[in-house]
Homo-oligomer: A and B are copies of this chain.
Amino acid sequence: MPLIVTGSVAFDSVEAPTGSVQRVLGGSCTYFAAAASFFAPVRIVAAVGDDFDRAHLTTLARFPNVCVEGLETRAGSTTFAWGGKYHEDMNIRETLFTELGVLAEAPPATPANYRDSRYVFLANNHPSVQLDLLAQFPTRAIAVADTMDLWISDAKPELTKLLSQIDGVVLNDQEATQLTGVRNAITAGKRILEMGPTFAVVKKGEHGCVLVHRDGVAALPAYPAEKVIDPTGAGDSFAGGLMGHVASRHTAEHFGGEPVSFDMLRTGLARGTVIASFTIESFSLDRLASLSANDLNARLDEFRGVVAVD
């Protein structure tokens, strides 16, 4: 069942206590798709400039489950570029620069043969753009969106409209608090459900995640990682693992418009957690590109032991 993600494909420049890289492949769409592809086939809709070269395409091609037919290369434009610096405490990140490039232009077009996509993830973007993209998938079963502080403060009406049209939202704890005015992650999640979605996933970085769903609450710690090279893309990878799991498990009987079940999402949290734990072990997509299904399953088994209650 086709999963689709819309968002950014970017050149990331990262300075961290563990090293630095210049203009490596990154972006919300890229991390999401690479992570999701371990669970289900995934289509991407994004635009890049004509500075996006063969080397970057070769990296994407290392994820055979990612369909890049919807990756639009726009002549005369430049690829979105982001530069960031992580502090000694790698939970603290500052943005050094953004070069919007194609992101300042019209959104990418969705190929006609992608319109049958059933599972839609709208990575962080202006909620008006997310709404336009959402409308392009009329037969979707489940739509989930990410957002960011900028849109919560500057585009609240559009974001509110988006929330009324989607099934779930994935956002970090500060964003959940900003959106609802509530500090407690569970209570904030419940307030978000009052805005429309069936579920909200609150990401807490190294402290794990919380799922607030109409039918229950789930929570997991992060995988207990010691080797953190670059946290960039962890949140998008988490969302990719979660949605990839949903796309792989969502069965025919759910297709009648029934909201996505608590159990399916709950089990997706662990997949998102584990795939994100690999993302942070390298810069860019390096670790994900070398990851095997065996590596993934072994760590998922290990994680079962980490959180076992008995």
**CA gap between A304 and B304 in the complex, in Å:** 12
Contact of A306 among B207, B219, B225 (CB under 8 A): B219
**CA gap between A226 and B208 in the complex, in Å:** 17
Inter-subunit contact B267/A305 (CB<8 Å): no
Across-interface contacts of A157 in B (CB, < 8 A): none
Q: Does A184 contact B (CB under 8 A)?
A: yes
Stretch among A18-26, A192-200, A210-218 lining the B interface: A210-218
**CA gap between A266 and B224 in the complex, in Å:** 14
Number of copies of this protein chain within its complex: 2
Q: Does A221 contact B (CB under 8 A)?
A: yes
Q: Does A183 contact B (CB under 8 A)?
A: yes
**CA gap between A305 and B304 in the complex, in Å:** 13
Across-interface contacts of A308 in B (CB, < 8 A): 218, 266-267
Chain A contact residues (Cβ within 8 angstroms of B): what range?
Answer: 35 or more
**CA gap between A21 and B164 in the complex, in Å:** 43
Q: Does A310 contact B (CB under 8 A)?
A: yes
Inter-subunit contact B304/A226 (CB<8 Å): no
Inter-subunit contact A221/B221 (CB<8 Å): yes
| A252-310 residues at the B interface, CB under 8 angstroms | 263, 266-267, 270, 300, 303-310
Q: Does A148 contact B (CB under 8 A)?
A: no
Contact flag A221-B210 (CB < 8 Å), given A309-B300, A309-B307: yes
Inter-subunit contact A226/B309 (CB<8 Å): no
Inter-subunit contact A309/B270 (CB<8 Å): yes
Contact flag A217-B224 (CB < 8 Å), given A303-B309, A309-B267: yes
Across-interface contacts of A221 in B (CB, < 8 A): 207-208, 210, 219-221
A104 to chain B, nearest CB (A): 37
**CA gap between A187 and B224 in the complex, in Å:** 10
Most buried by B among A185, A187, A226: A226
Contact of A307 among B185, B224, B225, B307 (CB under 8 A): B307
Q: Does A81 contact B (CB under 8 A)?
A: no
> A215-236: contact bitstring with B at CB < 8 Å (1 yes, 0 no)?
0111111101110100000000
Across-interface contacts of A115 in B (CB, < 8 A): none
* A and B contact pairs by CB, cutoff 8 A, 26 listed: A88-B183, A184-B226, A185-B224, A186-B224, A186-B225, A186-B226, A187-B226, A207-B207, A207-B208, A207-B221, A208-B208, A208-B221, A210-B224, A218-B308, A219-B221, A219-B222, A219-B306, A220-B309, A221-B221, A263-B310, A266-B305, A266-B308, A267-B310, A300-B309, A304-B309, A307-B307
List chain A positions with a Cβ less than 8 A from chain B: 88-89, 183-187, 204, 207-208, 210, 216-222, 224-226, 228, 263, 266-267, 270, 300, 303-310
